[in-house]
Structure 1
Amino acid sequence: MFRTWIAGAALSLVAGLAHAQTEVVVQYPYAELFEGTHKRIIEEFAKVRPDIKVTLRAPYDSYEDGTQKVLREAVTNQMPDVTFQGLNRIRVLVDKNIPAELDGYIAAEKDFDKQGFHQAMFDIGTASGKVYALPFAISLPVVYVNLDLAKQAGADPANLPKTWDGLIDLARKIKALGPDINGITYAWDITGNWLWQAPVFSRGGSMLNADENKVAFNGPEGQFAIRTLARLVTEAAMPNLDQPAMRATFAAGKTGIHITSTSDLNKTTQMIGGKFALKTHTFPDVVSPNGRLPAGGNVVLILAKDKAKRDAAWEVVKFWTGPKGAAIMAETTGYMPPNKVANEVYLKDFYVKNPNNYTAVSQLALLTKWYAFPGDNGLKITDVIKDHLNSIVTGARAKEPEAVLSDMTADVQKLLPKTVGSVR
């Protein structure tokens, strides 16, 4: 009888806990990069907060897809409670008053700095002087080199090229190794024109002028960037591949140099499986003192409207961007954690054992914001730029990069708002 009572009480307790759980629905982009990461963090979170159930929605295909879905769902009130968005997409969501402000939650935390949170983290997700997002995963562009092919082409693994001229020259030599070998690939079509902004910013340029009413990427910096992209096609015979195909071809040992985000590092390393020696290298031709590189990656925002949901969502956000969640993210992807404790405590020995991961960390001093174009046409501008760059990569206009830049400038200028809002 007593045992029956105990069993019944235990069942009641379990049922009570289950009933008391608050569900937080989370949606994130890029399943191929982050599915395992989020599932591991959920397992760890459940150990410390069994009262909060985290449910994952089907992942967004890309950052643009994620932003467009949230904009649509905001109208129909079908948004997830928490969303992970590209660093350059905070602006458009804040303009529509969609995410919750986080300043009150941050102010209420005790010893938040001792958990690795710091002002630079808050700055990344700040708009109009208020914090709307916390960074989860940070990436920078790096060069991936197949050392086996590079050495066959005469390169010194300890002294790889640091300039575009040097890389293009090495790519030509690698291409000459065989008809089925590619010298170089460049992930120009990466989301949000990220690798269009990178060479422009690396020379000290910008996308628009300070008032954000006139295109600025048509100056010397943009001219250098567009000519360099064209040179990859005309001089280094870069094939017309999309990102997954570039990654697969490189991992198969058929490409000598691949330039993309550090976020691809873990997946690419796994795909290589020891077939050849991989070395990462810093992005070329970053000119001092104004040269910078756009920070890629994603931030986490709270979309829940109900207070109880928001409070639970804050606990999710805090754990995912805190020391434990950030360390899991770094160990399972190629991204860098912005959390200080994750880097200094949890990952103290990680970069010593994984020097390829450290390449991006070595470029952190160059970090700048991934630019988001203003106005309702912000996403459309991204597509317009991509279409013009595509005309070079396909070879259709590879021999006239200056003309492409001129047309791209005119098309983007038409889409800029006449007046710019306060969100910067």
Structure 2
Amino acid sequence: MRSTLAALALLTGVAGAQAQTQTEVVLQYPFPELFADTHKKIAEEFAKVRPDIKVTMRAPYESYEDATQRVLREAVTNQVPDVTFQGLNRIRVLVDKNIPAPLDGYIAAEKDFDKQGFHQAMYDIGNTNGKVYALPFAISLPVVYVNTDLAKKAGADIDNLPTTWDGLFDLAKKIRATTPGANGMTYAWDITGNWLWQAPVFARGGTMLNADETKVAFNGPEGQAAIRTIARVVTDGGMPNFDQPASRAAFAAGKTGIHITSTSDLNKITQMIGDKFVLKTHTFPEVIAPNGRLPAGGNVVMITAKDKAKRDASWEVVKFWTGPKGAAIMAETTGYMPPNKVANDTYLKDFYVKNPNNYTAVKQLPLLTKWYAFPGDNGLKITDVLKDHLNSIISGARTKEPDAVLADMTADVQKLLPKSVGAAK
């Protein structure tokens, strides 16, 4: 009896010691309707390989905006989670407030990190002021969605879809001609953060501001081409005055031939289509070498823990979530794409064979660049100003004067840059 009690006491002591050495990492993420199952499954896999780290999840953020606002408030009272998932275009505002920890030291200490699928484009996305503060988790890129039934009726070769804007607009016109009442093309111009304004500018090698952020730069040749293209979506593509949900619904209902939006919409649109028609995705047109890029949408993960032991444990969490296993789980459970190369090339090889529409965005991975965030306290206001000007084109109010709209956009944004910046000429 004594030996049994002693054994039980020893086991209890061992269990207690293990519990005491276990480090807790508190994690919080947005959009539970998209990511709840994803994070649950990744956490289960992580627990198998790192039982010494306990991952506790807070109630999810409702959105990217909610995520950023809550972290900004919590930082004041030291109540931030240890790990937070944020929208890609929210990195800057948190770094400006010194909230996330730089990851460069952790990355440098890893051996053969590239063999785990990590690469420079991943680091570039989370780089601010020369340091890496975030790693991308769930990535979306702009792609072209095609209703192959309408495209075939218009005479298109589905295996060789147009790769230029002129080609797409020509197909859109043919779709309108062969299917009366159909929209030739729609464009999700109002996606948050001016994402599909930045895309055609970046695709030609342009930028939002100049190198030292003292002056608007989207009014150059790249921006001129971009805004004229958006105007052509209305004039040549026949796009009605639609916002993003209306464009999505019309395409899924079979009333639009070509729809340009985020790859993150793929699962949702596929489900909405059902068996109404066959969908095919296609790469974003005219990403011009050598400097053409596409802004990455989606979310990143940051370490906000202050305690060193918590930071070290949080790094293990971040590394697993963005590594091959975590990234593969994310891709299989959402409409997003992992930036991790090993996840795409090895873990998801069969997945992409069975789901070629998902692979379109993966082919564009080498084109990744940061989703730009404007500097200063007026950064979010600038986003609204740009959206209002783009709306004047889509609504028909100023569709025929895109160059004038661009000039007004330029002037209005310049006024809203920080005084020390915007005053520069």
**TM-score, normalised with respect to structure 2:** 0.88
- Relative to structure 1, is the Cα distance of residues 171 and 375 closer, same or farther in structure 2, using a 3 angstrom cutoff? same
1:53 correspondence with 2:55: yes
Q: What is the Cα deviation at residue 198 of structure 1?
A: 0.9
Q: What is the Cα deviation at residue 136 of structure 1?
A: 1.3
- Relative to structure 1, is the Cα distance of residues 145 and 23 closer, same or farther in structure 2, using a 3 angstrom cutoff? same
In structure 1, the residue corresponding to 2:91 is in which secondary structure? helix
1:279-305 deviation per Cα after TM superposition (whole angstroms, max 9, x unaligned) = 111111233343322222321101122
AA aligned to 2:312 is D
- Relative to structure 1, is the Cα distance of residues 347 and 81 closer, same or farther in structure 2, using a 3 angstrom cutoff? same
- Relative to structure 1, is the Cα distance of residues 197 and 104 closer, same or farther in structure 2, using a 3 angstrom cutoff? same
AA aligned to 1:322 is G
1:18-56 deviation per Cα after TM superposition (whole angstroms, max 9, x unaligned) = 676544332323344433322221222233334413314
- Which residue of the partner structure matches residue 298 of structure 1? 299
Structure-2 separation of matches of 1:4 and 1:255: 74
- Relative to structure 1, is the Cα distance of residues 16 and 254 closer, same or farther in structure 2, using a 3 angstrom cutoff? farther
Structure 1 alignment gaps of length 5 or more: none
- Relative to structure 1, is the Cα distance of residues 360 and 125 closer, same or farther in structure 2, using a 3 angstrom cutoff? same
The answer to whether the 8 Å contact 2:125/2:369 transfers is: no
Q: What is the Cα deviation at residue 359 of structure 1?
A: 1.7
Structure-2 separation of matches of 1:208 and 1:311: 36
Larger displacement relative to structure 2 (173-182 or 320-329): 173-182
Q: What is the Cα deviation at residue 342 of structure 1?
A: 1.6
Larger displacement relative to structure 2 (311-320 or 27-36): 27-36
The answer to whether the 8 Å contact 1:134/1:321 transfers is: yes
AA aligned to 2:200 is P
- Relative to structure 1, is the Cα distance of residues 166 and 73 closer, same or farther in structure 2, using a 3 angstrom cutoff? same
- Which residue of the partner structure matches residue 83 of structure 2? 82
AA aligned to 1:255 is T
- Which residue of the partner structure matches residue 147 of structure 2? 146
The residue correspondences of 1:313-328 to structure 2 (distance < 5 A) are: 313-328=314-329
The answer to whether the 8 Å contact 1:267/1:333 transfers is: no
Structure-1 separation of matches of 2:11 and 2:250: 56
Structure-2 separation of matches of 1:203 and 1:157: 26
Larger displacement relative to structure 2 (377-386 or 34-43): 34-43
Q: What is the Cα deviation at residue 207 of structure 1?
A: 1.1
AA aligned to 1:283 is F
Q: What is the Cα deviation at residue 350 of structure 1?
A: 3.0
The answer to whether the 8 Å contact 1:264/1:333 transfers is: no
1:205-258 deviation per Cα after TM superposition (whole angstroms, max 9, x unaligned) = 221122211111112221221122122123322133333333333223232211
1:350-400 deviation per Cα after TM superposition (whole angstroms, max 9, x unaligned) = 333322222222223333332222222222211211121122222232232
Q: What is the Cα deviation at residue 150 of structure 1?
A: 1.2
- Which residue of the partner structure matches residue 338 of structure 2? 337
The answer to whether the 8 Å contact 1:203/1:286 transfers is: yes
Q: What is the Cα deviation at residue 260 of structure 1?
A: 1.0
1:40-83 deviation per Cα after TM superposition (whole angstroms, max 9, x unaligned) = 2122223333441331422332x344333322332243323212
- Which residue of the partner structure matches residue 160 of structure 2? 159
Structure-2 separation of matches of 1:173 and 1:30: 39
Q: What is the Cα deviation at residue 116 of structure 1?
A: 2.5
- Which residue of the partner structure matches residue 277 of structure 1? 278
In structure 2, the residue corresponding to 1:158 is in which secondary structure? helix
- Which residue of the partner structure matches residue 238 of structure 2? 237
In structure 1, the residue corresponding to 2:159 is in which secondary structure? coil
**TM-score, normalised with respect to structure 1:** 0.88
May I ask how many residue pairs the two structures share in their alignment?
Answer: 420
In structure 2, the residue corresponding to 1:313 is in which secondary structure? helix
1:395-417 deviation per Cα after TM superposition (whole angstroms, max 9, x unaligned) = 23223222221111111001112
**What do you get for the CA RMSD once the two structures are aligned?**
2.9
Larger displacement relative to structure 2 (131-140 or 349-358): 349-358
- Which residue of the partner structure matches residue 26 of structure 1? 27
AA aligned to 2:55 is K
- Which residue of the partner structure matches residue 256 of structure 2? 255
Structure 2 alignment gaps of length 5 or more: none
1:138-194 deviation per Cα after TM superposition (whole angstroms, max 9, x unaligned) = 332110101012112222212222222222232233344556633222111112211
Larger displacement relative to structure 2 (146-155 or 118-127): 118-127
Q: What is the Cα deviation at residue 129 of structure 1?
A: 3.0
- Which residue of the partner structure matches residue 410 of structure 1? 411
AA aligned to 1:356 is N
Structure-1 separation of matches of 2:10 and 2:334: 44
Structure-2 separation of matches of 1:272 and 1:35: 24
Structure-1 separation of matches of 2:252 and 2:15: 48
The residue correspondences of 1:115-264 to structure 2 (distance < 5 A) are: 115-176=116-177, 181-264=182-265
Structure-1 separation of matches of 2:275 and 2:14: 51
1:288 correspondence with 2:296: no
In structure 1, the residue corresponding to 2:349 is in which secondary structure? coil
The answer to whether the 8 Å contact 1:52/1:312 transfers is: no
- Which residue of the partner structure matches residue 379 of structure 2? 378
The residue correspondences of 1:105-116 to structure 2 (distance < 5 A) are: 105-116=106-117
Q: What is the Cα deviation at residue 322 of structure 1?
A: 1.0
Structure-1 separation of matches of 2:299 and 2:133: 13
AA aligned to 1:410 is A
AA aligned to 1:57 is A
In structure 1, the residue corresponding to 2:321 is in which secondary structure? helix
- Which residue of the partner structure matches residue 368 of structure 2? 367
In structure 1, the residue corresponding to 2:158 is in which secondary structure? coil
AA aligned to 2:117 is G
Q: What is the Cα deviation at residue 9 of structure 1?
A: 8.4
- Relative to structure 1, is the Cα distance of residues 78 and 171 closer, same or farther in structure 2, using a 3 angstrom cutoff? farther
In structure 1, the residue corresponding to 2:162 is in which secondary structure? coil
Q: What is the Cα deviation at residue 12 of structure 1?
A: 8.2
- Relative to structure 1, is the Cα distance of residues 352 and 375 closer, same or farther in structure 2, using a 3 angstrom cutoff? same
